[in-house]
Amino acid sequence: MSIEFKISTKPVEYPKALRLLENRVNDVLNQKKPELIWILEHPLIYTSGVRASKQDILSDKIKIISTNRGGKITLHNKGQKIIYFVLNLNNRGKNIRTLITKVENAIIKFLKLYNVQGKADRQNIGIWVKGNKISAIGVRVKKWIAYHGCSINIDNNLADYKKINPCGLDNNKITSLEKVTTLKIKSINKNLKDCFLKEFI
């Protein structure tokens, strides 16, 4: 299948990225452009999904942007990799569970490259390492075009999580690749690209 793979080396503002995603959904739906997988980072921002609760906001000093993705409240910041996608499930079996499993598998394979064992959890969606969450997944589907994606904590500032209960969880239950690997963290974008393309091509 034809997929455009994009890597942004400079942080991308969240609203700009969201506009691009939503425009791409329409273009894929109308067969004007191919599917997309996009690796990037965002400057610090807190976002809420369709299942967000005000009880998970622990500080009145943060601004939270509402989105139409699945999930609750989370954050994006420097050192956290975002993998956005726009995928046409009309050509991929129209199975959201299969899509989520492929995303989970790509993240688990990526972590394994750094000798880290990640596990999926059906009750608390995302990828976990030794009981702590390292990756969040949030997806929306419009006319069987799936978009948004996942985030993976690489070497970001985990203290930023103290102002929320991320995904409704205790904010001490968050970890990063930097915290759990003994290997040098390198070739992040290349390894992410390889792992995701193997799942989706």
How would you class 15 by CB atoms within 10 Å of its CB: exposed for 0-12, middle for 13-18, buried for 19 or more?
A: exposed
Contact 136, 149 (CB under 8 A): no
> Which one is catalytic: 73, 136, 167, 174?
167
Four-residue CA torsion sign, 21, 112, 102, 124: negative
- Judged by DSSP in three states, 59 sits in coil
Let me know how long the chain is.
Answer: 201
Query: Does the annotation mark 150 as catalytic?
Result: no
71: number of Cβ within 10 Å: 23
In angstroms, what is the C-alpha Rg of the chain?
16
- Judged by DSSP in three states, 50 sits in coil
- Judged by DSSP in three states, 64 sits in strand
Tell me 57's DSSP state. Answer: B
Tokens of 13: 């503002």
- Judged by DSSP in three states, 145 sits in strand
Q: Which residues are catalytic?
A: 167
